[in-house]
Structure 1
């Protein structure tokens, strides 16, 4: 068998396993708890960086699904708006930071891919999850984007769910809320640096 055939067979078997779990009503795959612990914008030489921490407790079912080769994405979304008295708030910034975690059976390691680019391997799922719990401070706005001394309202949310699966492998249970979880929007205020 070629490597592609083995991969295709493995995906078919995983899909069948998920379908069986859905039919049997196994709903232990959802995340037990997903929460934004802290969030703030920090000024840097390049602009403004998002600093956040999260709490994520994965259920045994979701851990098993990841171990069986089903990749899960964790997307942090940030929005900045500026209040206006004469109209609705101005949406200034919308930024996303995604970490996709997948298990590689051949190397028996977890691979974390950040924003579809940088990849890093970890010996355990918990080690890989550290990239989600304490993401690197990513640039959400260049210096000139925010008005000097202006007040902004910020909001941050963490969403988790299955990574994109080829259309021919999708089954209705993939859209089930048990397979995805998100935090409430955590709101914060921010004042841009004065020049």
Structure 2
């Protein structure tokens, strides 16, 4: 009753809660060539970030995962980690959205080895970013074949790669804070 009264009295609080990022799916799969993590992230892009994108300035997202092996005598041992770096930019001449995906940080000196995709709408591009599919963590021999594994997954908007004026303006503003982390014990499922 008290929660309902507070949410009715503070409509901004209920809106902020519905807009906060969330991880809706997290799965660990074993395939013939290794162990993969699949995740689904739900988030909304704030208006300030959309305006920056529409001006042709790229924004960067990072998805990171770590797998641990439990030890009864000490802290858990990190056995694998992986990251996926994503760069989203608007191309004003073609009026399309370009997404670069790479296993290494994307820098100004070049994209290195990356997958490029073009999208007609921002919604389609954000849907592709929110699906982190088959992030390769390593070999089964390195990770182990236990029934369950402690996994830590993080997804964030990387403001450190924005141009300097935007980095300074983003400090302390909650609109630029898109970050979510989840730790869970996941069963190692066989790939279909």
TM-score (norm 2): 0.74
Secondary structure at the aligned position of 1:131 is classed as helix
Number of the residue aligned with 1:124: 121
CA distance in 2, matches of 1:104, 1:172: 25
Shift of 1:191: 4.5
Number of the residue aligned with 1:88: 75
Number of the residue aligned with 2:41: 54
CA distance in 2, matches of 1:160, 1:124: 19
Query: Which has the higher mean CA deviation after the structures are superposed, 139-148 or 90-99?
Result: 139-148
Number of the residue aligned with 2:56: 69
Contact 2:60 2:159 in 1 (8 A): yes
Contact 2:80 2:143 in 1 (8 A): no
Deviations 1:45-102 (A, max 9, x none): 1111111111111122221221112212121111111111111111111211122111
Deviations 1:100-121 (A, max 9, x none): 1111112211110001411111
Contact 1:76 1:97 in 2 (8 A): yes
CA distance in 1, matches of 2:129, 2:44: 12
Deviations 1:20-40 (A, max 9, x none): xxxxxxxxxxxx431111101
Q: Where do 1:41-190 residues align within 5 Å?
A: 41-115=28-102, 116=106, 117-149=114-146, 151-162=148-159, 164-165=161-162, 169=165, 172-178=168-174, 179-190=176-187
Shift of 1:170: 5.9
Contact 2:35 2:138 in 1 (8 A): yes
Aligned-CA RMSD value: 2.4
Question: Which runs of 5 or more residues in structure 1 are unaligned?
Answer: 1-31
Shift of 1:171: 5.2
Contact 1:82 1:89 in 2 (8 A): yes
Number of the residue aligned with 1:9: none
Secondary structure at the aligned position of 1:135 is classed as strand
CA distance in 2, matches of 1:192, 1:171: 41
Shift of 1:166: 5.1
CA distance in 2, matches of 1:113, 1:93: 24
Question: Which runs of 5 or more residues in structure 2 are unaligned?
Answer: 1-18, 107-113
